[in-house]
């Protein structure tokens, strides 16, 4: 039996174990270990497990995962989501479809300090559902909006999924964060556009409402003029070349906050600017940025009184549980990847595709389709770790007219977008199930109907990012 056939047999066995409800991490570990022992020897497998498990998890790079998870867990319990939602309501609620749009904007802001789709969906399921009901938003459209907005937790950096992609594909984490910013903001813009189109066709989905913000959250009279001056100064200095790229962006962001945001969102915005801006500006590494973000989140939550000792304890417990789950999946994927390497399936598949003379973009489209299908039956993290050992060698062997590093970064952003589609698209959609557990009175079919405009927007955005790689790579080249 050829190595390629053995690899296919391994994939089939693993899918059968998953269908039998074995955890994905254990399914990959069991099949990978059995295949490794078959192709080499049981003694070689024991030696591999003895040395690889420690060397993999003793890596300093992996420490970024629990730190970002901790930052997200603290943000989830700090009340920042409610603050962001109130600020977005203040600006958008009077528009037709303004309340769902406010949820998307708040999710985007929360995603910049969380990095987890599940946490974003669960947090806004609790914070936004009462507001959507008060605004008489259609129940299915409201839950669909939250499920779609939750994907911004991984689409806007920092993103745990991007960190894992970077580690697995051996790419620079900071550059992937830079590449994800424009596609992530594009996702939020497309979701807002999808809401506008949906409510224009069916105005009853989300009628405009009156919203009067508390007096304490109103901007002082000097905020708008100061924000306009800062933004114009940033634009002029950047164009004149007297201010660096990072300095210009941060100054412009501060101006926009003073122009459009109330003061209640300044802590959340400050954390996002410090963490993401610090990583972009190479002030500190992604691991250091995650540590700084977690520390600031803990300090801000404690000073504001929104984090008590029990919240902090639960945040650390959640971090330990989530990190343990991720690391076990990483170990299973590592062993399964070693088995695939022994079968030489990745190299064989790359050679077969090269000899077939298929256009590179046709191969990429086929991979995106495979991700969409896999997203209907398995967790996004396992899906990425399972496929990358096969797909990365194939992608890097194709000629897109770009350097290899650019191709790997661009492909990572495409994978991130497709993972976001899998989180909401029927028949599974993890985010849909999460919001359905919170809004038990809303039928799950109504939520599936509610997410369809956002799924359509996702496919349009995916096509644009496929056709124009520069949208993902422009900021990387600018900042490096």
pLDDT number for residue 212: 57
What pLDDT digit, counting tens, does each position of 84-135 carry? 888 787 777 777 888 899 899 989 888 888 877 888 888 888 888 888 888 8
* Cβ atoms of residues 156 and 184 within 8 Å: yes
Q: Which of 334, 391, 402 is nearest to 365 (CA)?
A: 391
End-to-end CA distance of the chain: 48
pLDDT number for residue 235: 61
H or E stretch covering 296: helix 286-304
Q: Which of 14-18, 275-279, 290-294 has the lowest mean pLDDT?
A: 275-279
pLDDT number for residue 461: 94
Q: What is the mean pLDDT of the chain?
A: 82
Report helix angle 380-396 to 345-356, nearest 10: 50
pTM: 0.82
pLDDT number for residue 23: 83
CA distances, 37 to each of 11, 53, 54 (Å): 16, 16, 19
* Cβ atoms of residues 3 and 348 within 8 Å: yes
CA distances, 395 to each of 362, 380, 405, 470, 479 (Å): 11, 20, 11, 17, 25
In the chain, what percentage of residues exceed pLDDT 90?
18
93-129 in b/e form (b: 16+ CB < 10 A) is: bebebbbbbbbbbbbbbbbbbbbbbbbbbbbbbebbb
HSE-CB at 279 with a 13 A cutoff on CA atoms is 31
Confidence bin at 286 (pLDDT 50/70/90): confident
Mean pLDDT of 137-156: 90
* Cβ atoms of residues 190 and 461 within 8 Å: yes
What pLDDT digit, counting tens, does each position of 171-182 carry? 888 899 889 989
What pLDDT digit, counting tens, does each position of 320-378 carry? 988 888 888 888 888 888 888 888 877 777 777 767 778 888 889 888 888 887 776 66
Beta-carbon neighbour count of residue 28 at 10 Å? 29
């Amino acid at each position: 039996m050829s190595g390629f056939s053995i690899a296919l047999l391994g994939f089939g066995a693993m899918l059968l174990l998953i269908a039998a409800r074995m955890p994905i991490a254990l399914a990959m570990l069991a099949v990978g270990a059995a295949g490794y022992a078959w192709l080499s020897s049981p003694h070689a497998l024991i030696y591999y497990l003895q040395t690889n498990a420690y060397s993999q998890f003793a890596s300093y790079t992996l420490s970024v995962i629990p730190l970002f998870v901790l930052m997200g867990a603290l943000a989830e319990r700090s009340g920042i989501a409610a603050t962001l939602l109130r600020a977005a309501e203040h600006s958008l609620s009077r528009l037709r479809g303004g309340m769902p749009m406010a949820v998307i904007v708040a999710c985007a802001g929360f995603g910049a300090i969380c990095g987890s789709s599940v946490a974003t969906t669960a947090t806004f399921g609790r914070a936004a559902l009462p507001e959507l009901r008060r605004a008489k938003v259609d129940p299915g459209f409201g839950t669909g909006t939250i499920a779609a907005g939750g994907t911004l937790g991984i689409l806007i950096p920092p993103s745990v999924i991007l960190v894992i992609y970077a580690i697995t594909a051996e790419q620079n984490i900071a550059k992937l964060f830079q590449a994800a910013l424009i596609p992530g903001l594009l996702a939020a813009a497309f979701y807002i556009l999808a809401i506008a189109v949906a409510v224009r066709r069916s105005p009853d989905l989300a009628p405009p409402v009156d919203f009067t913000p508390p007096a304490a959250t109103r901007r002082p009279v000097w905020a708008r003029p100061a924000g306009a001056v800062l933004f114009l100064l940033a634009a002029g200095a950047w164009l004149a070349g007297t201010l660096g790229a990072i300095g210009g962006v941060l100054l412009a962001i501060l101006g926009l906050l003073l122009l459009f945001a109330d003061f209640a969102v300044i802590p959340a915005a400050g954390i996002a600017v410090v963490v993401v801006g610090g990583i972009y500006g190479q002030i500190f590494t992604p691991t250091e940025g995650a540590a700084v973000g977690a520390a600031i989140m803990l300090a801000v939550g404690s000073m504001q009184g929104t984090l008590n000792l029990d919240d902090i304890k639960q945040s650390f417990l959640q971090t330990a549980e989530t990190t343990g789950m991720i690391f076990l999946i990483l170990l299973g994927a590592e062993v399964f990847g070693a088995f695939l390497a022994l079968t030489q399936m990745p190299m064989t598949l790359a050679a077969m595709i090269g000899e077939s003379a298929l256009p590179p973009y046709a191969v990429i489209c086929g991979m995106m389709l495979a991700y969409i299908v896999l997203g209907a039956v398995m967790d996004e993290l396992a899906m990425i770790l399972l496929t990358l050992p096969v797909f990365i060698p194939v992608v890097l062997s194709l000629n897109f007219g770009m350097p290899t590093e650019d191709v790997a970064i661009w492909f990572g952003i495409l994978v991130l977008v497709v993972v976001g589609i899998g989180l909401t698209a029927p028949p599974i959609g993890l985010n849909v199930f999460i919001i359905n557990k919170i809004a038990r009175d809303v039928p799950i079919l109504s939520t599936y109907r509610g997410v369809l405009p956002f799924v359509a927007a996702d496919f349009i955005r995916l096509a644009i990012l496929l056709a124009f790689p520069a949208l993902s790579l422009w900021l990387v080249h600018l900042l490096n």
